[in-house]
Amino acid sequence: TNHPYCNPYRRNFPLLAENPLIYLDSAATAQKPACVLQAEREFYERYNANPMRGFYALSVEATERVEEARKAVRRFLNAPPEGEVIFTRNTTESLNLVAYSYGLSRLKAGDEIVVSIMEHHSNLLPWQMVARQTGARLKFLECGADGRITQERLNEAFSERTKLVAVAHVSNVLGCENPVARIAAMAKERGAVLVVDAAQSAPHMPVDVQALGADFLAFSGHKLMGPMGIGVLYGRRELLEEMPPFLTGGEMIDSVTRTGAVFAPVPYKFEAGTVNAAGAWGLKEAIRYLEAVGFEAVHRQELALTTMALEGLRQIPHVKVLGSEKAEEHCGILTFTVDGVHPHDVSAILDADGIAVRAGNHCAQPLFDFLKVNAATRASIYFYNTQEEIAALLRSVAGIRRKMGYGE
Ligand code: PMP
């Protein structure tokens, strides 16, 4: 049809269905399909009780919803039997759990932690903290301007002292996919553990913890259309069992005396306090919906739109797109600058045209320093976006310099 937002998926999203908003900030958080909103509501309407605590029927039902969600996440990640899924609030909390629990208890002075230069602050600050507190050294894995991590860079970053490697599967700025399986092999050779930040990959591509060789892997529910406040940490059971708890208190113990406690088994040892059961139930539905759409369809739609956006942006004078020249190496993420115009002005002008994008340094300041770019604007595409929306983005960006008072 000629409807401007004709996309078979768009109508599944209440916020988008009735709204002309051009939402190009899905890398920050994805919109929610009606079925996810319905699932979260269903939990409170039908199953609401404190899970893990009571022995009455309703509490058992609530517990079952959490465990069903855990199973769905396990399958989604292709977790092996010797791996476990822990529910957290978000990627940030998952990564902090690994840093505070594994990092502080297992690393020591002289050890090396490798992080890539393109890490989101959530996968950098926890490791800076571990380095400061243990005397371990933080080493940066460098990339090219297109985000490429070469074997040479890998060889430079790794040493016999490497004990932990923390890397994004997909960059939230460049959209590039990192060679995680290769990094995993190098980590394994040195007996180092690998922590993967899958916040930007899990919504777009199958994430297989076994194929990636991840010891730990984190993602956020809200970026793959689930509710906010539910996140996942996958970890190898063998490591998790040896680790001290991160947060302590209720729900994570077997027994407590005046002076001590016996902790519950993994994964409960790491789920202190009441878990976000409704969020977990909503996340399970988001995974079901995403898999029903299918990663192939998601990829096809994103690639078509990304190709159109990248080619269009490249033709606008004074506009530069960060990262690879190839649309298939962007994972729907287009971060760009407009010469002489601050990204805050860029996003304000786009906002006036009804287009939502993100501006700033995108929680990845070391990458911006490396690229010698102060800040940039990020348009991020998901499969519910349309060609008409990309056309509107390109029209709006093409008019920015003139609106700011520049001639041609
Ligand atoms: N890592 C990456 C690569 C991200 O893009 C984000 C979200 N911007 C995060 C971590 C943090 O996610 P959250 O805010 O959900 O904890």
Ligand 1 pocket test, pick from 92, 195, 362 with the greatest ligand atom count within 8 Å of Cβ, gives 92
Q: Is 176 a catalytic residue?
A: no
For residue 194, the SS3 value is: strand
Judge if ipTM > 0.90: yes
pLDDT digits (tens, 9 = 90+) for 361-397: 879 999 999 999 999 999 999 999 999 999 999 999 9
Ligand 1 pocket test, pick from 220, 233, 333, 365 with the greatest ligand atom count within 8 Å of Cβ, gives 220
Backbone angles phi, psi at 49, to 5 degrees: -160, 165
In angstroms, what is the span from residue 221 Cα to ligand 1's centroid?
10
- Long-range contacts (CB closer than 8 Å, 24 or more residues apart) made by 82-85: 82/236, 82/237, 82/238, 83/209, 83/234, 83/235, 83/236, 83/237, 84/234, 84/235, 84/236, 84/237, 84/240, 84/266, 84/267, 85/232, 85/233, 85/234, 85/267
In angstroms, what is the span from residue 296 Cα to ligand 1's centroid?
24
Q: Is the pLDDT of residue 53 over 90?
A: no
Q: Is the pLDDT of residue 24 over 90?
A: yes
Q: Is the pLDDT of residue 169 over 80?
A: yes
Minimal-distance CA residue to ligand 1 atom 5: 172
What residues does 113 pair with on adjacent strands? 138, 164
Place of tokens 């194929």: 211
In angstroms, what is the span from residue 287 Cα to ligand 1's centroid?
18
Q: Please state the atom number of ligand 1 nearest to the C-alpha of residue 222.
A: 15
Q: Please state the atom number of ligand 1 nearest to the C-alpha of residue 172.
A: 5
CB 221 within 8 A of CB 282: yes
d(CA 120, CA 363): 5
Which residues have CB under 8 Å from 311's CB, separation 6+?
A: 327
Name the residue among 243, 233, 209 with its Cα closest to residue 93: 233
pLDDT digits (tens, 9 = 90+) for 73-98: 999 999 999 999 999 999 999 999 99
pLDDT band at 3; cut points 50, 70, 90: low
What's the chain's length in residues? 408
Name the residue among 163, 200, 162, 157 with its Cα closest to residue 178: 200
pLDDT digits (tens, 9 = 90+) for 271-294: 999 999 999 999 999 999 999 999
Per-residue pLDDT at 5: 58
CB 165 within 8 A of CB 139: no
In angstroms, what is the span from residue 46 Cα to ligand 1's centroid?
31
Q: Is the pLDDT of residue 4 over 60?
A: no
**Among 35, 143, 176, 363, the one annotated catalytic:** 363
Q: Is the pLDDT of residue 22 over 90?
A: yes
Burial (0-12, 13-18, 19+ Cβ within 10 Å), 56: exposed
Of the listed ranges 15-19, 41-45, 307-311, 397-401, the one predicted with least confidence: 15-19
pLDDT band at 209; cut points 50, 70, 90: very high
In angstroms, what is the span from residue 113 Cα to ligand 1's centroid?
20
d(CA 329, CA 320): 16
Minimal-distance CA residue to ligand 1 atom 6: 199
Please name the amino acid found at residue 395.
R
Neighbours of 106 (CB within 10 A): 17
CB 144 within 8 A of CB 195: no
How close are the terminal C-alpha atoms of the chain, in Å? Answer: 37
pLDDT band at 153; cut points 50, 70, 90: very high
Per-residue pLDDT at 109: 98
pLDDT band at 2; cut points 50, 70, 90: very low
Percent of the chain topping pLDDT 70: 98
Per-residue pLDDT at 360: 87
Ligand 1 pocket test, pick from 172, 176, 177, 382 with the greatest ligand atom count within 8 Å of Cβ, gives 172
Average pLDDT over residues 120-148: 97
Average pLDDT, the chain: 96
Minimal-distance CA residue to ligand 1 atom 12: 91
Q: Is the pLDDT of residue 180 over 70?
A: yes
What is the helix (H) or strand (E) element at residue 41, kind and residue range? helix 34-42
In angstroms, what is the span from residue 202 Cα to ligand 1's centroid?
11
Q: Please confirm whether the linkage preceding 267 is cis (ω < 30° from 0).
A: yes
- Strand pairing report for 216-220 and 231-236: antiparallel
CB 27 within 8 A of CB 404: no
Minimal-distance CA residue to ligand 1 atom 4: 199
In angstroms, what is the span from residue 47 Cα to ligand 1's centroid?
30
Q: Please state the atom number of ligand 1 nearest to the C-alpha of residue 92.
A: 16
Per-residue pLDDT at 239: 98
What is the CB < 6 Å shell around ligand 1?
A: 28, 90-92, 120, 122-123, 168, 172, 197, 199-200, 220, 363
- Strand pairing report for 216-220 and 193-197: parallel
Q: Please state the atom number of ligand 1 nearest to the C-alpha of residue 197.
A: 1
Evaluated on CA atoms 83, 89, 90, 92, the torsion sign reads negative
Q: Is the pLDDT of residue 21 over 70?
A: yes
What residues does 379 pair with on adjacent strands? 334
pLDDT band at 1; cut points 50, 70, 90: very low
